[in-house]
Amino acid sequence: MSDRVALTPVRIAGLELPNRVAVAPMSRVSTSGDGVPTARMAQYYARYAHGGFGLVITEGTYTDQRYSQAYPNQPAIVSAAQIEGWRRVVRAVHEARGRIVLQLMHAGALSQHNRHRTDTIAPSAVPPAGTKMSAYGGEGPYRTPRAATRSELAEAVEGFARSAAAARVAGFDGVEVHGANGYLVDQFLTTYTNVRDDEYGGDPHRRVRFATEVVGAVREAVGADFPVGIRLSQSKVNDVGYRWPGGAREAEVIFRAVAEAGVDYLHLASEGQDWADSATLDDGSTVTRLARKTTGLPVIANGGMHALGRARSILAGGEADLVALGRGALANPDWPLRLAAGRDPRPFEPEILRPDVTLASQDAWEAAPRP
């Protein structure tokens, strides 16, 4: 099978993409504390478009001034200044002939910093597993959250919907609900963080309810013709070993419910692991293949896809319609151009996870002669 399968066009709802390689969402915590995307961020995102990525998915962006913020210097899309900052990012990506989707994120219990308050909410008052991430200035255990009231959940849903509408106004090509990696939406899907005895807790049909309310409200806010996706994962930043206890049957319930609520694509992430480690289900199928089969929607696979052989076999083998690169994209903002030119990608060095190092390295790339 040709190396170039990744470079063939694909469509998500009405959005035509020139190839199947996306930049995975990556928090870069690069605002000045006010949640307003900067000119530097516009440059950073435009580089991926210049480098040939068919789709750029932004870092997780918080959705209200109540409980959604996760990290210091994280961008938001709530105030007029934040929307305007994103408009500048979108313009830069579009000028580079790229397409860009905004990831909408509510941290729930995994909030490490919130400039609006110190307490946190979650499905249930369960202390989160793991410890805060030092990369975002955190240390020690997470605070034990309060169980959100129904009206707080309605406010969180409204935050997603308003932010999605604002993303459309800012010119984005779509939005992606962050339902993965242990954050609020995923806290509802997860058995041990959701011990509610109301309509949001219990079997998988009930645990997926919050996700479907978010997707439904986002869909209503943006209209039928604006691409909406959702990112899901079994593993979490604070618990990489978690797997859906009901295996393939549970996965199917989740995939079908979010599709019926109105998503146009599913993005299956592998937090901190390669796809192969966390994609396999109890019946030997994989999350990406099952998501395709259950929903008939385009599916993005993530986790170690910068290894060319893996990306190729996943796409050619019908496991997924697109691949999303995280760390590989940081090291290679021109990964698709390299692929087209038959050049090997640069190896990933952990140092590049620091936003200042990413930018310096990508500046060097920009200054280098073009292929």
Q: How far is the CB of 164 from ligand FMN (least distance, A)?
A: 16
Our finding on whether 231 is near ligand FMN (CB under 6 A) is yes
Our finding on whether 325 is near ligand FMN (CB under 6 A) is yes
Residue 146, number of CB atoms within 10 A of its CB: 15
Closer residue to ligand FMN, CB minimum distance, 276 or 316: 276
Q: Select from 124, 302, 332, 361 the one that contacts ligand FMN (CB under 6 A).
A: 302
As given in the structure block, the two tokens for residue 41 are: 């961020």
As given in the structure block, the two tokens for residue 71 are: 């990290």
Our finding on whether 215 is near ligand FMN (CB under 6 A) is no
Amino acid sitting at position 56: V
Our finding on whether 266 is near ligand FMN (CB under 6 A) is no
Q: Select from 25, 98, 227, 333 the one that contacts ligand FMN (CB under 6 A).
A: 25
Q: How far is the CB of 275 from ligand FMN (least distance, A)?
A: 8
Our finding on whether 201 is near ligand FMN (CB under 6 A) is no
**Torsion sign over Cα 310, 316, 318, 320:** positive
Angle at 118 between CA 83 and CA 140, to 5 degrees: 110
265 is catalytic: no
Our finding on whether 50 is near ligand FMN (CB under 6 A) is no
Our finding on whether 59 is near ligand FMN (CB under 6 A) is yes
Return the C-alpha torsion angle 360, 178, 119, 158, nearest 10. Answer: 120
The DSSP letter of residue 348 is: P
Q: How far is the CB of 369 from ligand FMN (least distance, A)?
A: 27
CA distance 291 to 302: 13
130: β partners: none
| Count of residues touching ligand FMN (by CB under 6 A) | 23
Alpha helices in the chain (DSSP H): 39-50, 80-95, 150-170, 184-189, 204-207, 209-222, 247-261, 275-279, 287-295, 308-316, 327-331, 335-341, 355-367
Q: Which residue's Cβ has the minimum distance to ligand FMN?
A: 326
Closer residue to ligand FMN, CB minimum distance, 196 or 230: 230
Our finding on whether 37 is near ligand FMN (CB under 6 A) is no
Our finding on whether 359 is near ligand FMN (CB under 6 A) is no
Closer residue to ligand FMN, CB minimum distance, 217 or 325: 325
Q: How far is the CB of 67 from ligand FMN (least distance, A)?
A: 17
Q: How far is the CB of 327 from ligand FMN (least distance, A)?
A: 4
Stretch that binds ligand FMN, among 107-115, 117-125, 222-230, 320-328 (CB under 6 A): 320-328
Our finding on whether 252 is near ligand FMN (CB under 6 A) is no
Q: Within the chain, what is the greatest distance between any pair of CA atoms?
A: 60
Strand 100-105 relative to strand 228-236: parallel, antiparallel, unpaired?
A: unpaired
End-to-end CA, the chain: 25
Closer residue to ligand FMN, CB minimum distance, 209 or 231: 231
Our finding on whether 326 is near ligand FMN (CB under 6 A) is yes
Closer residue to ligand FMN, CB minimum distance, 56 or 201: 56
Smallest CA-to-CA distance from 138 within 58, 217, 69 is with: 69
Our finding on whether 269 is near ligand FMN (CB under 6 A) is yes
Q: How far is the CB of 60 from ligand FMN (least distance, A)?
A: 3
CA distance 226 to 28: 26
- Catalytic residue (choose from 45, 183, 200, 242): 183
Query: 145: Cβ–Cβ under 8 A, 6 or more apart, which residues?
Result: 108, 109, 119, 120, 121, 122, 124, 125, 126, 128
Contact 174, 226 (CB under 8 A): yes
Q: How far is the CB of 126 from ligand FMN (least distance, A)?
A: 22
| Positions that interact with ligand FMN (CB under 6 A) | 24-27, 59-60, 103, 178, 180-181, 231, 269-271, 302-305, 325-328, 353
Catalytic residues, by residue number, are 183
